[in-house]
Amino acid sequence: MTYLLIKAVLSAIIIVAVSEIARRSAGFGALIASLPLISVLGMIWLWRDTGDPVRMADHALATFWFVLPSLPMFLVIPLLLKRGLGFWPALGIGCIVTILLYLMMVAMLSRFGVRL
The tens digit of pLDDT for each residue in 5-29 reads 988 898 888 889 888 998 999 888 8
How many structural domains does the chain have?
1
Close Cβ partners of 5 (under 8 Å, ≥ 6 residues apart):
none
The tens digit of pLDDT for each residue in 34-82 reads 878 888 888 999 999 999 999 999 999 999 999 999 999 999 999 999 9
User: 104 lies in a domain?
Assistant: yes
User: 31 lies in a domain?
Assistant: no
User: 5 lies in a domain?
Assistant: no
User: 44 lies in a domain?
Assistant: no
Judged against a pLDDT cut of 90, whether residue 32 lies above it is answered with no
Distance CA 20, CA 57 (A): 33
pLDDT score recorded for residue 28: 86
Instruction: Give the structural domain span for 75.
Output: 53-116
User: 108 lies in a domain?
Assistant: yes
Identify the CA nearest to 109 among candidates 60, 71, 69, 72. 69
User: 85 lies in a domain?
Assistant: yes
User: 24 lies in a domain?
Assistant: no
Judged against a pLDDT cut of 90, whether residue 30 lies above it is answered with no
Judged against a pLDDT cut of 90, whether residue 94 lies above it is answered with yes
User: 13 lies in a domain?
Assistant: no
Distance CA 4, CA 77 (A): 33
pLDDT score recorded for residue 57: 95
